[in-house]
Amino acid sequence: MSEPFEPVIIGFTCNWCSYRAADLAGTSRVKYPPNIRLIRLMCSGRLDPTFVLKALAGGADGVLITGCHPGECHYLEQNYKTLRRFTLLRRTLAQFGIEPERVRLVWASAAEGARLAVEIGKMVEEVRALGPLNWQGVIADDGDPPIAIYHPQSEWVQGVAA
Amino acid sequence: MNANGKPKLAMYWASACGGCEISTLNIGEHILTVDAVFDLAFFPCIADFKVKDVLGYPDGYIDLCLINGAIRNSENEEMVRLLRRKSKLLVAFGSCAYEGCIPALSNLTTRDATLRAAYLDNPSIDNPAGTLPQPHTAVPEGDLEIPFFYHTVKSLDQVVDVDYTIPGCPPEPHQIWAVLQVVVAALTQGGSLPPKGVLLGAGSVAVCEECALAKHEKAVARFYRPYQIRPEPGLCLLEQGLICMGPATLSGCGALCPQVGMGCRGCYGPLPGAEDQGMRMLTAIASILDVSGRPGDNELDLERKVEAAADTIVDPAGTFYRFSMAHSLLRRARTDGVEAAVPQPAVWS
Ligand code: FES
């Protein structure tokens, strides 16, 4: 029997708010699903969107971006940049066929441990319902026959094909 | 065949537009030097060669083989595998061979949709029987075969081993000539070849650094498409709301496009160290988009303002990955059952 699908979600947190929210959730024994792997950045503004693509291409089923509420970033303006990046990123990913539920942005202050836990739980369930992303499979199974099968008569293709 | 002792040169096009050949011939009078130094072994664009000529060469017979064009169908793949085997040095020449370029934009859609657009749906098409190209067709004389049209366009290095890469759509003639001189010196006077795998014929900084337009602090409320405004001469195009890929694109072209009012399209590819040109550009655009708020602002209102500004960037994936789709981290769109959900770029506004 196949194992039930457990989504892998990469979560980016900022040092000053959302990481502390996750920490608070832990110390106050609020449960959230273990599907999320948190990575701490100093600020959500540090999030190069390349990280999100690397996570997705590398096997993650979803990415959660978190940071301080707008206006509360410890580096003043950076989470406005995060919001603008995220907005453009989501539109770009939609063109690649990646559902909006898979990449989300959530603001969480250091006091919002319980809320962050709820948001994580919601996201895990949404991604679970969508199923695995398996991006390397998307790249590998491109629907094209291997050249050596398509041109069996070409000895030079046979000879060079790996 | 080696009677005259000259090194052998080949240039072949896979899925290409022919611009790379034109750019090569645009090296001007230097073409006479190329002709004097090299023996042409295969160059279908300018001389009559047949595939069987190449088949007849011993392996490694061609000293320098320039390949332009992306790998779009089985014939492209077959030919580059053959030429790889027959060549000592194989160069990915131009953006298509390097990173997919315009042909690879169709990785955002499916093989079927591409064929439909080309043979059925386009308003200028007259195809009442709805005929589509078939890889095999049975006729009384036997089985006719045409190349198999791929679902995913690939760069040259995703199919065969590549020795050097020359970026650009097309590469600039002075850069081509500079590279040829290095190779010629190595082949004829025992000069040393550059290390395998390097990018040749390009700069090492961003296009902005070789662009003469005046630059200031950037804060842009919205973007425009090139036909919507007439840019003020002499001033950075990004600052005027025209998307210019300069900040995310490798130099080497001399910033030609911005000088004539057209934002850099990104054809020299990503800067060293950038894994994904599209995401570098997305970050740059997000940084200069001038939509912010104040502490206590309604978060939904803020989101709506950002969405409205983002609406002015039509087709972000096609813009940020115009040349680098095959080399991007995602490489192609997912089409397993979600094809219908892949949004088409918003209507031209
Ligand atoms: S410090 Fe939290 S978003 Fe900048």
Determine the average pLDDT of the residues in B234-244. Answer: 97
B304 Cβ under 8 Å from any chain A Cβ = no
CA distance B279 to B284: 9
* Residue B163 Cα to ligand 1 middle (Å): 44
Please count the CA atoms within 13 angstroms of the CA of B149 that sit on its side-chain side.
17
* Residue A82 Cα to ligand 1 middle (Å): 9
pLDDT in tens, B262-272: 999 999 999 99
CB contact under 8 A, A161 and B81: yes
Please count the CA atoms within 13 angstroms of the CA of A146 that sit on its side-chain side.
9
Inform me whether the pLDDT recorded for B46 exceeds 60. Answer: yes
Q: What angle do CA B95, B96, B101 make, to 5 degrees?
A: 80
Q: What angle do CA A76, A106, A99 make, to 5 degrees?
A: 130
Which of A56, A68, A91 to mutate to probe the B interface, most B CBs <10 Å? A91
Which residue is closest to A96 within chain B, CA to CA?
B333
Inform me whether the pLDDT recorded for B216 exceeds 90. Answer: yes
How far away is chain B from the Cα of A15, in angstroms, using its nearest Cα? 19
Q: Whose CA is nearest to atom 2 of ligand 1?
A: A68
> Do residues B269 and B99 lie in contact, with contact meaning Cβ atoms separated by under 8 Å?
yes
pLDDT value, residue B234 = 96
Q: What angle do CA B102, B104, B110 make, to 5 degrees?
A: 125
> Do residues B71 and B153 lie in contact, with contact meaning Cβ atoms separated by under 8 Å?
yes
Spell out the residues 6+ positions from residue B240 whose beta carbon is closer than 8 angstroms to its own.
B224, B229, B231, B232
pLDDT value, residue B343 = 36
Tell me: domain A9-134, CATH 3.40.50, correct? yes
Domain chopping of chain A, boundaries: 9-134
The dihedral of CA B202, B206, B209, B215: what is its sign? Answer: positive
Percent of chain B with pLDDT over 90: 79
- Exposed, middle or buried: residue B311 (CB in 10 Å: 0-12, 13-18, 19+)? middle
Spell out the residues 6+ positions from residue A46 whose beta carbon is closer than 8 angstroms to its own.
A14, A78
Of B7-11, B238-242, B344-348, which gets the smallest average pLDDT? B344-348
Q: What ipTM does the predicted assembly reach?
A: 0.90
pLDDT value, residue B295 = 79
Inform me whether the pLDDT recorded for B274 exceeds 50. Answer: yes
Helix axes B299-310, A78-95, angle to 10 degrees: 50
pLDDT value, residue A155 = 52
Residues of B in contact with A92 (CB under 8 A): 278, 282, 316-317, 320
pLDDT value, residue A161 = 40
Query: Which of the four pLDDT bands, split at 50, 70 and 90, describes residue B347?
Result: very low
Probe residue for ligand 1, chosen from A12, A47, A78, A86 as the CB with the greatest number of ligand atoms within 8 Å: A78
How far away is chain B from the Cα of A19, in angstroms, using its nearest Cα? 20
CA distance B53 to B65: 15
Determine the average pLDDT of the residues in B91-97. Answer: 98
> Do residues A16 and A43 lie in contact, with contact meaning Cβ atoms separated by under 8 Å?
yes
**Across chain B, what does the average pLDDT equal?**
91
Domain chopping of chain B, boundaries: 8-103+151-189, 207-327
CA distance B78 to A147: 7
Spell out the residues 6+ positions from residue B200 whose beta carbon is closer than 8 angstroms to its own.
B91, B164, B165, B166, B175, B179, B182, B194
Extract the tokens encoding B254: 């001399």
Between A71, A92, A133, which is nearest B316 by CB?
A92
CB pairs under 8 A between A and B: 151
More confident of the two residues A149 and B245: B245
A11 lines ligand 1 (CB under 6 A): no
Q: Tell me the C-alpha to C-alpha distance, in Å, between residue A125 and each of A35, A61, A128, B323.
A: 10, 12, 5, 37
pLDDT value, residue B85 = 94
Single pTM value for the model: 0.91
Q: Tell me the C-alpha to C-alpha distance, in Å, between residue B13 and each of B68, B253, B288.
A: 5, 22, 39
The dihedral of CA B88, B93, B98, B102: what is its sign? Answer: negative
- Architecture label for domain B8-103+151-189: 3-Layer(aba) Sandwich (3.40)
CB contact under 8 A, A71 and B84: no
CB contact under 8 A, A50 and B339: no
Which of B110, B303, B334, B344 to mutate to probe the A interface, most A CBs <10 Å? B334
Inform me whether the pLDDT recorded for A162 exceeds 80. Answer: no
Residues of B in contact with A142 (CB under 8 A): 150-152, 332
Between B74, B286, B334, which is nearest A81 by CB?
B286
| CB atoms inside a 10 Å sphere around CB B13 | 23
CB contact under 8 A, B78 and A57: no
pLDDT value, residue B141 = 94
pLDDT in tens, B291-320: 888 878 899 999 999 999 999 999 999 999
* Residue A38 Cα to ligand 1 middle (Å): 15
| CB atoms inside a 10 Å sphere around CB A115 | 16
pLDDT in tens, B123-179: 999 999 888 888 788 999 998 888 888 889 999 999 999 999 999 999 999 999 999
Between B280, B286, B334, which is nearest A88 by CB?
B286
Extract the tokens encoding B178: 């500079």
How far away is chain A from the Cα of B238, in angstroms, using its nearest Cα? 16
Spell out the residues 6+ positions from residue B237 whose beta carbon is closer than 8 angstroms to its own.
B213, B231, B243, B244, B258, B261, B262, B263
pLDDT in tens, A120-160: 999 999 999 999 999 998 888 666 666 555 554 555 454 44
pLDDT value, residue B342 = 36
CB contact under 8 A, A83 and B289: no
Spell out the residues 6+ positions from residue B346 whose beta carbon is closer than 8 angstroms to its own.
B311, B314, B315
> Do residues A16 and A110 lie in contact, with contact meaning Cβ atoms separated by under 8 Å?
yes
Nearest Cα to Cα of residue B291 among A80, A92, A46: A80
